Structure 1
């Protein structure tokens, strides 16, 4: 590489400088984005090598162009080193070494990029072409104090780049061999150099910090072992550096890395014996740290790292390690919760060992630590005296963190036993309440709420057979002071112990009364907690609650307009759980009783000509309640078919639908009413199963009419569910209704697409329609393939492939796959359009006498084949184009690759020349070289026609995957490289 640019080089330099100027100074974001894209593309060119060289050596330029040049070298060495002949790579190395020597005084960011470039180059060059990399660098930069920082930067990034930059193209054997000669063989030499530098006369703390950073890099890479380090002055100096404010943070990092590297305790006992006393000696520094949160945090990290790494040794060598456990307990008691949480994993690890040794008297000191920890955590759970002093975000963070602390309370239960822990929380409440009765005393709800929360958190560990502590907890809850926060917490405690209540059914009346009062509380927070408690009560105690159904029914009717939507759903869900626990035939009558008021409410709404929005919202809530009943009583969608439900339930399905039908007819133009009605109908179809068949013809007619009127996608969704659930069992009449509904929604979808300039605006409709087409193809294929609108249906799927929603793309790919992989295509052969028309008419006549569940006839299969073939011959080129562009331009999620390959293999099998011409055309003319390089593109253009011609479907897959991998590599490069961020 020459240092004097030619005119052509100068032109490239000017272009880069102009792009960088735009990137960093142009106020127009579009111009910035265009400049960034241009710079990324320029980096891929061969001329970028020389341009980067010229810019990097131009010290009169601002930092930005020179930084761009150093980044370019690193990027090109990672992705484009094949552009440099092997014999020319030593010259590239020398160029970078020369540049590095020019930047020994900074800027460091450029130093770093050059060092990264050299590291990537060193990995890809053999020992023959670049031998003894580290000794050479030490010799070149290590003897002059002015260049030692540069050496340390290189030695720091070398193991990081070599072990973490997985984009560097190198095979595993070459990688392993080069790592050995590049890093492993010279690790001792690096350690020796660092040990010399750390105690060199006149060394600055800045250099010492760089030494520690370098040491960390080699420790984490595994090239320097803990045993090697402790044999050098670096070991003791790491502890001594904790006394320095400048070196404290990096010294903490080094010590944590060192301890982590000794976690294979059996292999490192001699090293651990040197580490542990020095860690214990830091307890004094922890005690002196006081309010210095940064120092406490750093020391806490060291103690916890030791505790976690050596937790298996703690109980084997109790006396030696107990001081570390004490220090971690001190950290857990600190006021800063960010520091407290550092300790949580240690308590979990230690608890598992202690739980197995609970009867060992020698662990008593550790049990006392956990007793103290229990009190500490409950204290941390306490809300501040003035909760309003916290911002909204702080309140949310604290609430979330309380649940996180709850996990540590469970660890305490594992060690001490849940009965002991719950008893201590109960004692806290009792003591607080007793103290509040003293003259002049004032009760603070926070002092009661924190142990209440702990009871809730530890409930998962409680033994539902306990008859000592839990009864006392259940007794005290209703007697707590009448404060909303305590009502809320108390109800949530009840919801946690409903398994115990199930084993003590005599407690149910009292608890139902307490929960019901909570539902009637003016605080929405309290009523929500009561709804949750009711839900859990009904789930866990359902066998005992059947006699309470009349009482619950009256309660259910009375709270209908008092509770918010979420609480209503919770109460409905709760009662549904009771019904779900009953035999189906016994549950039918109470189910009808509980749902009848909801249907009556909807019937009134349907008859209201101009309801207010709030009335419509309540109607939507009633439908959601009905849906919840059907979902839970029906077993989450398993269906209460005719063998379980009595015959009158068939009439119930029709009668219930008549209410919903009227509601859709009169108010289905309101979107949320339409959507909620669709969800309810879907659940009803699943619940009633074949018993719903009499309601299907009017339902399908109503859905079609509603969709034609409103264009709301929920109507399409339900038509698809009807076809999916009933298409295979349909008799001629139902089949006719299904066919008519499919034709009508198809025609409406086509009209909507024709009138829309942005298909993305119709994404919900397209999504549900494509799903419906897939259901039709799988269950009643003649309805799809013999429809005159089938080509339009298929074209809708092709449109869906151009949208950005990955779920819609997936649905479209599923539909296309269903079509192109149809068994009928095995009959594929050229046909005339007139023959196709006659065959279609003949098959249409035949299908009218098809019996439910019958297999397609040969005539039907031939007609399907003809329809599919004609459509694919017309739209196949567009299909191939959409698939290739979606895959290569990364419009598709990578997970879609499998479906794309299957579709293209099927197309190649039946329409070889069409697929060849289409795929070659789009790759050649529409995929830019920045997406797929010319070499990979040319390979595809040559090989793809060959494998298709030979009907080598595995070869088709291999070529598509290779093309995709090439585009992914290009994309990863673009994501890796960016400027001005």
Structure 2
């Protein structure tokens, strides 16, 4: 009796609604089914009652769905995909009208809340998908609610161009774009009629300029832009407004117009178009640097496009026409864009980083001006401003103008002639007199000294007060990086009349380790090495001087290294700086060595031998420290390259043994990288082939001991990356012993697994090995090496299918794909090497795939069968990937990476 009422009640109420899911993908599937039921055609036959009941149930589910937390995400996904399989074509107008009614209701008060904005986006996306190619004309015909029309006009161009909008046929997008272009004049007239709402008009205009290729003449003839600004405030007053929204909107519109209509600016109508350039210039001079920086890309485009104008006479006419604008732009950069704010000391660290990036782009803008105006003209312009700032700064603490001028002078150093004798002498005489306590000013001054090192090398009399200035700057933490780099750059320009190796060496040796950041100390040491190298080259043959300089620099470092390694409480952080110092010494101190047996070992090899035991002890003591391993391997690499392969050969076996043993102990990837350097240096010499094979075989055995499945490969992506780059070098430099070894097949098996890793380096390294292997197979066609060709073909025939299946999965989006250029190359070469096998493997790869359009598959197979050239085949691969990506997004959403 207790269950009867429940049963009767169930029969009366009908089936219960399933609960909503919090998972977007799962709920999206249910919503598709519900929409299909709601919008399915009615059935007037015997099943009409059942049809009506299902429709009512689906309607209830959709109604309750609107209150769930995932509803917006599901609706967004739904409208970004192809809706033709969800809503019947004859029901689309009803859906559109419903959305328009909702938008009119929510936007009736003129507000721009997230709901009304999202509805406008939905309507715009739907318009493209249902090919509503009269949308603009329909909206403008009866604009009952101007605000609603503005919302849709603002969303429509961006949605039409958006990659998020996945269409069954891209022709829909092109048709809508043609419609927008044809009705652009009508839209401009509509916006002009409502120009009093300047903020909204500017937002709409900005997006139409960005996404719709409106004809330049249409825009030139429209008074809209000027009217929109004047409706808010007169132009000059608008630029001083405190309303950042108005300023940003105006600046974006003007900049977008300038970039979109660059062809008009550089056309015979440049006199009319110059007004647009003037507007951009005024925007560049806005007090708000963040908004003014919006215009910087326009100036870059103007310079680049002007440089490409032909013929030369026409280009020069345009340059002459825009020279006044560019000269004013230099003034703007110095007086406004490059200028540090007055509250510099209180700016948070994250905003300082943004300010640094901003100043970098301003410096590039000033440099770009030199490309058209010449370095001397730009320098003269900056010099005039510098003179003004010197007078303005005398007797007070206003330093920003001086700093801005120095920063811009440094930015154009590459364009200033070496015989400049007016402004630069004044500048470098001024530097030692600048206030030393203003750290940003000192930093920029030090940096500028380094930028003009080559000029100072021809004017050494100016350097005498500058070197103490830089040396003192090393004691200021904020200025030390610039001072250290400047010292290095001066050393790079050392010559017989500008010999600074000895004073800088004394400066370096006078530094107490730890007083400077290691990076700054290494900059000075590099400078010492470069200056000494130039000095030794000028005095060729003085071997004693070379050995003495090397000993003088290396001995203190080696002593500290030995102490750091042996000290009981030592750590990698104490050892690493000494290894970095030795690396700089080995890399940048160029020693002339004739290679004769009578001269003994190369001095750098002697140095390496003397510290070998300490390096080995450090690796044994700290096997798990990857930074230490990287630094030691980097030292070995530069030692080998500094000596040269022939001079280093007595140490090669010892190095390879150490790399194998160190990798076996630590499983650290830098040892694999160092091994690949050995292959690059010695692989082309057949006398080393077997020894190199022994090294890589031992390392591969170690790898396979802890890389046994995809999870273990995923846990060590750096090892996978370096393993396959190393093996790729073997295949490029000495492939024969590897191809004849059983190791090749194991590597191909491992590569098939490594291709599945969602790691850029591991994925690329794996593909590089495969590409090199197949390239070698093709080269064997012209070589008579049956002992190599047979095992290679056998290994590929056994393991090729798994590799090709994974390649196709990557192209279809089922596996990560980072080899944008490598995958087409591998397939193209495989098709040359073994076309029949490749076809079989492809059919296995295509079997059972849901994301593969039949037409795309057939076109891809045809591209293989017709034997296209490499570039044409790459285009066919891209077309195949695009079709698969569209199909995937229509079904499941975007690909994994």
Cα distance in 1 for partners of 2:717, 2:319 equals: 64
> Hey, what does 1:38 align to over in structure 2?
26
Q: Residues 361-400 of structure 1 correspond to what in structure 2 (within 5 A)?
A: 373=332, 376-377=335-336, 381-385=339-343, 387-400=344-357
3-state SS, counterpart of residue 419 of structure 2: coil
Cα distance in 1 for partners of 2:432, 2:860 equals: 79
Contact 1:326/1:369 (8 A) holds in 2? no
1:284 and 2:201 are equivalent in the alignment: no
Aligned partner of 1:967 among 884, 887, 891: 884
Residue 655 (structure 1) shift:
1.7
Residue 919 (structure 1) shift:
5.1
The superposition leaves residues 280-310 of structure 1 with CA deviations (integer Å, 9 ceiling, x where unpaired) of 7976365376534434445556676788869
Describe the shift of the 1:567–1:613 C-alpha distance in structure 2 as closer, same or farther (beyond 3 A): farther
1:682 and 2:637 are equivalent in the alignment: yes
1:813 and 2:767 are equivalent in the alignment: yes
1:885 and 2:809 are equivalent in the alignment: yes
Contact 2:494/2:501 (8 A) holds in 1? no
Aligned partner of 1:924 among 847, 864, 871: 847
> Hey, what does 1:22 align to over in structure 2?
21
Q: Which moved more, 1:588-597 or 1:496-505?
A: 588-597
Q: Which moved more, 1:968-977 or 1:313-322?
A: 313-322
Describe the shift of the 1:923–1:350 C-alpha distance in structure 2 as closer, same or farther (beyond 3 A): closer
**Which blocks of at least 5 consecutive residues in structure 2 are unaligned?**
1-9, 41-54, 107-115, 308-313
Describe the shift of the 1:355–1:678 C-alpha distance in structure 2 as closer, same or farther (beyond 3 A): same
> Hey, what does 1:252 align to over in structure 2?
202
Aligned partner of 2:390 among 421, 429, 446: 429
Contact 1:538/1:545 (8 A) holds in 2? no
1:600 and 2:555 are equivalent in the alignment: yes
Cα distance in 2 for partners of 1:404, 1:270 equals: 30
Aligned partner of 1:530 among 479, 483, 492: 483
> Hey, what does 2:606 align to over in structure 1?
655
Q: Residues 319-338 of structure 1 correspond to what in structure 2 (within 5 A)?
A: 334-338=286-290
Describe the shift of the 1:765–1:502 C-alpha distance in structure 2 as closer, same or farther (beyond 3 A): same
The superposition leaves residues 377-410 of structure 1 with CA deviations (integer Å, 9 ceiling, x where unpaired) of 27x613425x443222222223333334445656
Q: Residues 809-848 of structure 1 correspond to what in structure 2 (within 5 A)?
A: 809-823=763-777
Residue 468 (structure 1) shift:
2.1
1:566 and 2:533 are equivalent in the alignment: no
> Hey, what does 1:905 align to over in structure 2?
831
The superposition leaves residues 43-77 of structure 1 with CA deviations (integer Å, 9 ceiling, x where unpaired) of 8x888633566557988545368878966774564
Describe the shift of the 1:947–1:395 C-alpha distance in structure 2 as closer, same or farther (beyond 3 A): closer
3-state SS, counterpart of residue 435 of structure 2: coil
Contact 1:535/1:574 (8 A) holds in 2? yes
Contact 1:723/1:779 (8 A) holds in 2? yes
Describe the shift of the 1:422–1:742 C-alpha distance in structure 2 as closer, same or farther (beyond 3 A): same
1:473 and 2:424 are equivalent in the alignment: no
Contact 1:653/1:688 (8 A) holds in 2? yes
Contact 2:125/2:156 (8 A) holds in 1? yes
Alpha-carbon RMSD across the aligned residues, in angstroms, is: 5.3
Aligned partner of 1:691 among 647, 650, 659: 647
Residue 113 (structure 1) shift:
2.8
Contact 1:403/1:457 (8 A) holds in 2? no
3-state SS, counterpart of residue 702 of structure 2: helix
Cα distance in 1 for partners of 2:505, 2:579 equals: 18
Describe the shift of the 1:674–1:153 C-alpha distance in structure 2 as closer, same or farther (beyond 3 A): closer
Cα distance in 2 for partners of 1:815, 1:572 equals: 38
The superposition leaves residues 740-763 of structure 1 with CA deviations (integer Å, 9 ceiling, x where unpaired) of 323322222222325996222222
Residue 567 (structure 1) shift:
0.9
3-state SS, counterpart of residue 668 of structure 1: helix
Contact 2:121/2:155 (8 A) holds in 1? yes
3-state SS, counterpart of residue 381 of structure 1: coil
The superposition leaves residues 640-677 of structure 1 with CA deviations (integer Å, 9 ceiling, x where unpaired) of 99768997374434423313421232111333332212
Describe the shift of the 1:144–1:12 C-alpha distance in structure 2 as closer, same or farther (beyond 3 A): farther
Aligned partner of 2:791 among 867, 887, 892: 867
3-state SS, counterpart of residue 478 of structure 2: helix
Aligned partner of 1:499 among 454, 474, 483: 454
The superposition leaves residues 244-275 of structure 1 with CA deviations (integer Å, 9 ceiling, x where unpaired) of xxx23112235667999999999469826897
1:802 and 2:792 are equivalent in the alignment: no
Cα distance in 2 for partners of 1:947, 1:60 equals: 50
Contact 2:120/2:155 (8 A) holds in 1? no
Aligned partner of 1:488 among 443, 450, 473: 443
Describe the shift of the 1:326–1:586 C-alpha distance in structure 2 as closer, same or farther (beyond 3 A): same
3-state SS, counterpart of residue 708 of structure 1: helix
3-state SS, counterpart of residue 467 of structure 1: coil
Cα distance in 2 for partners of 1:960, 1:263 equals: 30
Cα distance in 1 for partners of 2:363, 2:245 equals: 25
Cα distance in 2 for partners of 1:497, 1:96 equals: 68
Contact 1:418/1:462 (8 A) holds in 2? yes
Q: Residues 162-241 of structure 1 correspond to what in structure 2 (within 5 A)?
A: 167-170=166-169, 184=179, 221-226=180-185, 234=190, 236-239=192-195, 241=196
1:49 and 2:36 are equivalent in the alignment: yes
Larger Rg: 1
Residue 952 (structure 1) shift:
8.1
Cα distance in 1 for partners of 2:166, 2:727 equals: 42
Residue 101 (structure 1) shift:
7.2
The superposition leaves residues 149-187 of structure 1 with CA deviations (integer Å, 9 ceiling, x where unpaired) of 878877776666556677434476x987x569xx65xxx
1:666 and 2:669 are equivalent in the alignment: no
Residue 501 (structure 1) shift:
0.9
3-state SS, counterpart of residue 707 of structure 2: helix
Contact 2:137/2:183 (8 A) holds in 1? no
TM-score scaled by structure 1? 0.70
Cα distance in 2 for partners of 1:135, 1:452 equals: 53
Residue 474 (structure 1) shift:
0.9
Cα distance in 2 for partners of 1:51, 1:369 equals: 64
Residue 801 (structure 1) shift:
1.7
Aligned partner of 2:680 among 724, 733, 739: 724
Contact 1:770/1:812 (8 A) holds in 2? yes
3-state SS, counterpart of residue 525 of structure 1: coil
Describe the shift of the 1:588–1:706 C-alpha distance in structure 2 as closer, same or farther (beyond 3 A): farther
1:557 and 2:503 are equivalent in the alignment: no
> Hey, what does 1:193 align to over in structure 2?
none
Q: Residues 762-801 of structure 1 correspond to what in structure 2 (within 5 A)?
A: 762-801=716-755
1:577 and 2:530 are equivalent in the alignment: yes
1:710 and 2:662 are equivalent in the alignment: no
Cα distance in 1 for partners of 2:596, 2:574 equals: 29
Cα distance in 2 for partners of 1:959, 1:548 equals: 59
Describe the shift of the 1:614–1:459 C-alpha distance in structure 2 as closer, same or farther (beyond 3 A): farther
Describe the shift of the 1:805–1:114 C-alpha distance in structure 2 as closer, same or farther (beyond 3 A): same
Cα distance in 2 for partners of 1:275, 1:947 equals: 51
Contact 2:777/2:833 (8 A) holds in 1? no
**Which blocks of at least 5 consecutive residues in structure 1 are unaligned?**
1-6, 24-34, 124-131, 185-220, 242-246, 437-442, 635-639, 828-854
